Amino acid sequence: MEKLIVDLGKNSYFISIGSNLLVKKNIFCPLKSGDQAMLVTNKTLANIWKDKVLYYLNKAGIRVNQVVLPDGEKYKNLYEMESIISALLEHRHGRDSTLIALGGGVIGDITGFSAAVYQRGIRYIQIPTTLLSQVDASIGGKTAVNHLLGKNMIGAFWQPSSVLINIDFLHTLPKRELISGIAEIIKYSIIFDVDFFVWLENNIDGILSLDSEVIKYCILKCCEFKLKLIELDEREMNLRALLNLGHTYGHAIESHVGYGNWLHGEAVSAGIVMAARTAEKMGKLDNKDVQRIELLIDRVGLPIKGPKNMLPSSYFPHFMRDKKVLSGMIRMVLPVKIGQAEIFTGIDKSVISSVIEDCI
120 is catalytic: yes
Among candidate residues 166, 244, 266, 281, the one labeled active-site is: 244
E strand segments, the chain: 2-6, 13-18, 36-42, 63-69, 98-103, 123-128, 142-147, 150-157, 162-166, 331-337, 340-345
Among candidate residues 50, 123, 240, 281, the one labeled active-site is: 240
187 is catalytic: no
Residue of 146, 162, 137, 119 whose CA lies nearest to 11: 162
Among candidate residues 76, 226, 323, 331, the one labeled active-site is: 226
Dihedral, 318, 340, 135, 254 alpha carbons, nearest 10: 10
Among candidate residues 251, 256, 292, 318, the one labeled active-site is: 251
**Total Cβ atoms within 10 A of residue 121:** 12
235 is catalytic: no
Among candidate residues 92, 120, 175, 288, the one labeled active-site is: 120
Among candidate residues 76, 93, 142, 187, the one labeled active-site is: 142
305-to-22, 274, 328, 352 alpha-carbon distances in Å:
40, 8, 27, 14
Q: What residues are paired with 127 via a beta bridge?
A: 102
Among candidate residues 123, 264, 277, 318, the one labeled active-site is: 264
CA angle, 141 then 255 then 87, to 5°: 50
226 is catalytic: yes
E strand segments, 77-221: 98-103, 123-128, 142-147, 150-157, 162-166
Contact between 248 and 347 (Cβ < 8 Å): no
337 is catalytic: no
Residues in contact with 46: Cβ distance below 8 Å, sequence separation at least 6, in sequence order: 68
328-to-31, 220, 283, 320 alpha-carbon distances in Å:
45, 38, 24, 7
Residue-wise burial string across 308-345, b where 16 or more C-beta atoms lie within 10 A, e elsewhere: eebebebbeebbeebbbeeeeebbbbbbeebbebeebe
Among candidate residues 73, 80, 184, 254, the one labeled active-site is: 184
240 is catalytic: yes
Among candidate residues 73, 177, 234, 236, the one labeled active-site is: 236
Among candidate residues 50, 93, 187, 247, the one labeled active-site is: 247
Give CA–CA dist 351/356, Å, rounded: 9
Give CA–CA dist 256/278, Å, rounded: 20
Which residues are tagged catalytic? 120, 142, 184, 226, 236, 240, 244, 247, 251, 264
